Every structure is written in structure tokens, then in C-alpha cells.
Amino acid sequence: MSTPRINVDNSAAWGKLVKSWATGRDYVTFVATAAKPVPDEPAAGAPVPFPKPGSFKAMVTVCRANNVGLHFVATATTPKTPCTGDEPIGFVLLQGTSDISILRLPAKEKVHESESAMMGPGGMTYPLPAFYNDAFGDGTHPGAVRAMTLVEQMEFHAKRVGEYTINTCF
């Protein structure tokens, strides 16, 4: 049996943490404004505020410290369970560059599990995170993105980056 799928409880906090790891900037504690929607680069030679984790336990620890709330998704036989960091899970952090693309394929078992959940008794609908309502409103106008301020766009971007990362990379 494969490790259950991992998800987050706080999409904005997770996305800001992922953006911080990816860029070296501090999106986590930065307060965006219309005049300054993204944080500055760290000073040359200064340590990055959120170093990339080197283990699953380190990732869970920094997530917990920043109110992300990682959990294993509930299945037909197990409830939603918080990640403790003590689980025997391997961990590899990869980051592409503008010159190197990384095609990360999902685990075969994860594809089969998702398909089974959608095709099984009662059939799961394809899940979209609740934060999609931030951009698409109440769903009465599918495909129409509502006007968002620059600050709202940056918050939505952090959530999307986090969602992409948790859904494609875990």
C-alpha cells in the first residue's frame, strides 16, 4: 500500500512557504500592499529566511511552525490524519531552473487511487480547492475570473503555487 496523499489545511501559508523556498525571498512574514506586492530579494550574502528542508521531518516541522497544517488525505478506510514528521517517508526536493525543466511523474499507485476514488461507489467528484472561489466567485460564471486587486492576485498566486506543488510534487 502506498503512503496516503498529503494535502494542506492552509493554502495561503503553504503557497507562501513554497514561494519562499523557491526564491529565497520571505513571502511568509511579508505583508503585501498595492504599492509593494512582493518582498525584496535578500541582501547579497545574507542567509535566506526559509532554507529549503532536507528531510520530510524538517519540512513538516517548518510547516507546523508556519501554520500550514500538513495532513494525509482521508480514504475509504482511513480518516484524515495530521503529518507528524515521524512517518517513514523518503524526501527529495528538486528545483528546476530556467534552463532545466523537470518532468515529475506521479506515482503509479497515486494515479490508480485517484481513478478508483472517482469511479468507485458514490464516485468522488474531481476536487478543486475552496480557494478557487477567490477567483471564480460562487461558480455562477464558470471560467470568468473576477477582478482582483494586485494584493489579492499575489495571495491567489501563492495558493496556486502551493496547490501545484502539493498536487504534482507529492
- Domain membership of residue 134 (yes or no) is yes
What cell numbers appear for 110 in the block? Answer: 497515486
Cα separation of 153 and 95, whole Å? 24
* Residue range of the domain that includes 163: 6-169
Q: How many domains does the chain have?
A: 1
1 falls within a domain: no
pLDDT of residue 96: 84
The x, y and z cell numbers of residue 37, run together, are 506586492
Is 117 among the domain residues? Answer: yes
Strand 70-72: give its sheet, edge to edge.
Answer: 6-8, 70-72, 81-82
d(CA 72, CA 113): 14
Read off the C-alpha cell for 124: 468522488
Q: Does 49 fall in a domain?
A: yes
CA 167, chain centre distance (Å): 7
- The whole model's pTM is what? 0.76
Helices (H), 5-142: 11-23, 56-65, 108-119, 132-136
Cell output for 60: 513538516
pLDDT tens digit sequence for 70-98: 999 877 777 889 999 999 999 999 888 88
Over the stretch 25-46, which tens digit does the pLDDT of each residue have? Answer: 999 999 999 999 999 999 999 9
**CA 16, CA 63: separation in Å to the nearest integer?**
11
The answer to whether residue 27 is domain-embedded is: yes
Structural domain includes residue 110: yes
* CA 37, chain centre distance (Å): 20
- Quick: pLDDT tens for 110-138: 777 767 776 667 665 556 677 777 777 76
In 24-123, which ranges are continuous DSSP H helix?
56-65, 108-119
Residue 20 has pLDDT above 90, yes or no: yes
